[in-house]
Amino acid sequence: MNDCIVVKCGGSTLKELSEQFFSSMKSLKDLEMTPIIVHGGGPEINSLLERLKVSSEFVNGLRKTNVEVLEVAEMVLTGKVNKSIVTSLQKAGLTSIGISGCDGGLLEAAPINIEELGYVGQVTKVNGEFLTKIIDMDLVPVIAPIGMDEEGNHYNINADTAAGAVAESIQARKMVFVTDVPGILKNQELQKLVTVSEIEEMINDGTIYGGMIPKVKAAIQCLQGNIEEVYIINGKGGDLMANGELVGTKIVRSKELIKN
């Protein structure tokens, strides 16, 4: 199997993903690095909930999900959003397949706190063998983060959490967070390579602030197990590949661990 790179696309950036983003996924595949895309869809879910006049709320950053909200979330994530990404990948020359965590028992889930959050799940097991079979068929998987337990109950799963679990299951060495910014900036200059300790310093001195803080913290959380590198890239436009490397900020645990 080719090396795999897990690409997490946040819901807020999905509508603005450029043609260059999808062509860069093709470039990765041509370099024998198969992208596995895990996506969110929060804004699209919000929009449909409003149109259907279904109320929802957030608890500690997670959408409280009753049966009605779950039905809308699953409809949006596994339908509209998932197939939109598949279509764009196909146009870029990549044969792809859209699946949810329920398909093939990909994401086995359990409730985080059924009383407080309803049907919001955490991943308890990933069917890595199923995912490997898809990749071996030369398909690019596009995964909607809906999981299922042994009783057949479905759960809405945070896309960051799902992406990290998928990366761990297939022993991916690289992860990519697709955002609406070029990466980490210091004095208006893109930082191409940073360590965890450097990020902590930049948070403390205010260089990293606002919405970038949760992005880099999520990236740091993924730097465990086999994952050696996490990238933050801009999916909205511009060239995303240069000399076989993704253009953005590469985050590593320590510069001493970088392989020559």
Domains in the chain: ranges and CATH: 3-257 (3.40.1160.10)
Integer Cα distance of 193 and 233 in angstroms: 12
Residues 6 or more apart whose CB falls under 8 angstroms from that of 7 comprise 25, 35, 36, 37, 38, 175, 176, 178
Annotated binding site: 41-42, 63, 156
Query: pLDDT tens, position by position, for the chain (260 residues)?
Result: 458 999 999 888 888 888 989 999 999 999 889 999 999 999 999 999 999 999 988 888 789 999 999 999 999 999 999 999 999 999 999 999 999 999 999 999 999 999 999 999 999 999 999 999 999 999 999 999 999 999 999 999 999 889 989 998 888 889 999 988 888 999 889 999 999 999 999 999 999 988 788 778 878 888 877 888 999 988 887 677 777 788 899 999 887 656 54
CA 14 to chain centre: 11
Confidence (pTM): 0.90
Residues 6 or more apart whose CB falls under 8 angstroms from that of 145 comprise 38, 39, 40, 77, 100, 101, 107, 156, 157, 158, 159, 161, 162
Annotated binding site for substrate: 41-42, 63, 156
